[in-house]
Homo-oligomer: A and B are copies of this chain.
Amino acid sequence: MHGIIKERLFTPGPTPVFMEAQVRAVTRDLHHRTEDFRQVVRETVDLLRYYFGTKNDVVMFASSGTGAMEGAVANLCSPGDRVLVGTAGKFGERWLALAQAYGVEAVKVESPYGQPVSIEEMKRQLEKSGPFRAVFIQATETSTGVSHDVKALGSLVSKYPETVLVVDAITGLGTTDLRPDEWGLDVVIGGSQKATMMPPGLAFASVSDKAWKTMEKSKSPRFYFDYAKERKNLAKGETAYTPATSLVVSLHGVLSYIKEIGRETLIANAAMLADATRQAAQALRLKPFAASSPANAVTAICAPEGLDSGAIIKELRSRFGAIIANGQGTMKGKIFRLAHLGYFDAVDLFAIVAALEIALNKVGHKVELGSGVRAAQETYLKHVDSAEPHRAGAR
């Protein structure tokens, strides 16, 4: 007879929610055309600036992250424009699909799944195949667990006054050091169900002056995802169309918490969890899928030889209520993914690794119980006890 089984999300979105903000959301029943709500909106936009680490304007939409990605293409590019896309997985491919949808010609720099896009190759293409209206890439490619050196890419793109850099940081924000202003990341895109510890339904984007200027020239059709229109409205605490009020209140609550513990703390937390997960995987004789540049947001791990990753996922789900992600597309069955973005702590990691050890044994990959946990514990200690002695309070 089985006992209590609690459902636990370890997926790279949705992620575990920060309950205090959820409660705040359900207890404030706001009409969007009121001063009360306008104040929430204005404060939320300011908090988003803090979260992004930017002085740029930030826009926000009631949509999934893809909405803001489409908006970036529609607002920046005109039909027939040429863009450069760095793609290393399913979300890189989304940039290509969006370019195609808007009649934009995409030159692509592609890397095999599990490897980062070559920034060297991006440089060569910028020099050889330009001019480009925009360069599109992921800060972290959620489908494979690799991260990209967007700092280096920003420095390259900055040299082209007519080219803007658009970074899908949907899982990069809050997990990865990103400096939009210093590094020349002209458009940075985020979504609510990631390191912001809340349900899906909101997308946001920071936009540099250079990008705003480019947007003035774009001739692509857009209406709902009109960045300039939204910017104008948000400055007054308004939104062009009906905002998702409860989600905005929730975002306000979460970002207040993130500001309280510090953006850098949140990022260091994800970095610690990702490192500890990689060490645990190694101790369990599992290969990370990211050959290099692993992301802090999510760790993709190869299924053991001859095993379908779905079997591990199913065992974790049915036995422990723990939900982890499979690979997407052709990676399905080959990898599984454990998320570190947002409201996860070290204790969560110890827990899921212990559960994973049992699941692995059950599906035929024999491992020593406790050995992955030990590796995670040791890595936790290395990160946390070597760091500065100030701590975020328990919540």
A-side residues, CB < 8 A to B, are 1-8, 261-262, 264-266, 268-270, 272-273, 317-318, 320-322, 343-348, 350-352, 354-355, 357-358, 368-374, 376-378, 380-381, 384, 387-388, 390-395
Given known contacts A320-B346, A347-B354, A351-B350, A2 and B370 CB-to-CB distance under 8 angstroms: no
Q: What's the nearest-Cβ distance from chain B to residue A59, in Å?
A: 28
Q: What's the nearest-Cβ distance from chain B to residue A206, in Å?
A: 24
Q: Which residues of B contact A387 (CB under 8 A)?
A: 1-2
Pick the contact of A5 from B1, B3, B368, B391 — CB < 8 Å? Answer: B391
Q: List 27 A-B contacts (CB under 8 A).
A: A1-B268, A1-B390, A2-B392, A3-B265, A3-B269, A4-B266, A4-B345, A5-B392, A6-B395, A7-B394, A7-B395, A8-B347, A320-B347, A321-B347, A321-B395, A322-B347, A346-B355, A347-B355, A348-B351, A350-B350, A357-B377, A358-B377, A358-B380, A370-B370, A370-B372, A370-B374, A370-B377
Flag if A269 contacts B384 (CB, 8 Å). Answer: no
Q: CA separation between A265 and B318, bound complex, in Å? A: 16
Q: Which residues of B contact A374 (CB under 8 A)?
A: 368-370
Flag if A373 contacts B393 (CB, 8 Å). Answer: no
Chain copies in the assembled complex: 2
Flag if A384 contacts B3 (CB, 8 Å). Answer: yes
Pick the contact of A354 from B6, B351, B393 — CB < 8 Å? Answer: B351
Q: CA separation between A270 and B354, bound complex, in Å? A: 19
Q: Which residues of B contact A270 (CB under 8 A)?
A: 3
Q: CA separation between A269 and B351, bound complex, in Å? A: 17
Q: Which residues of B contact A264 (CB under 8 A)?
A: 1
Given known contacts A1-B268, A350-B373, A371-B370, A6 and B394 CB-to-CB distance under 8 angstroms: yes
Flag if B370 contacts A6 (CB, 8 Å). Answer: no
Smallest CB-CB separation from A323: which chain B residue? B394
A2-B387, A4-B392, A321-B347 given; name 17 further pairs at CB < 8 Å.
A1-B387, A1-B390, A2-B265, A2-B269, A3-B268, A4-B345, A5-B345, A6-B345, A8-B347, A321-B345, A321-B394, A347-B354, A354-B373, A358-B381, A369-B374, A370-B371, A370-B374
Flag if B350 contacts A4 (CB, 8 Å). Answer: no
Q: CA separation between A266 and B2, bound complex, in Å? A: 9
Q: CA separation between A6 and B394, bound complex, in Å? A: 5
Pick the contact of A370 from B318, B373, B393 — CB < 8 Å? Answer: B373
Which interface residue of A7, A371, A391 has the most chain B CB atoms within 10 A? A391
Flag if B350 contacts A355 (CB, 8 Å). Answer: yes
| Among all A-B residue pairs, the 7 with the closest Cβ atoms | A3-B269, A321-B394, A370-B374, A370-B370, A350-B354, A351-B351, A2-B391
Q: CA separation between A378 and B2, bound complex, in Å? A: 15
Q: CA separation between A354 and B381, bound complex, in Å? A: 12
Smallest CB-CB separation from A2: which chain B residue? B391
Given known contacts A350-B351, A350-B355, A369-B378, A343 and B4 CB-to-CB distance under 8 angstroms: yes
Smallest CB-CB separation from A388: which chain B residue? B1
Given known contacts A347-B8, A377-B370, A266 and B3 CB-to-CB distance under 8 angstroms: yes
Q: Which residues of B contact A384 (CB under 8 A)?
A: 2-3
Q: What's the nearest-Cβ distance from chain B to residue A306, in Å?
A: 23
Smallest CB-CB separation from A393: which chain B residue? B5
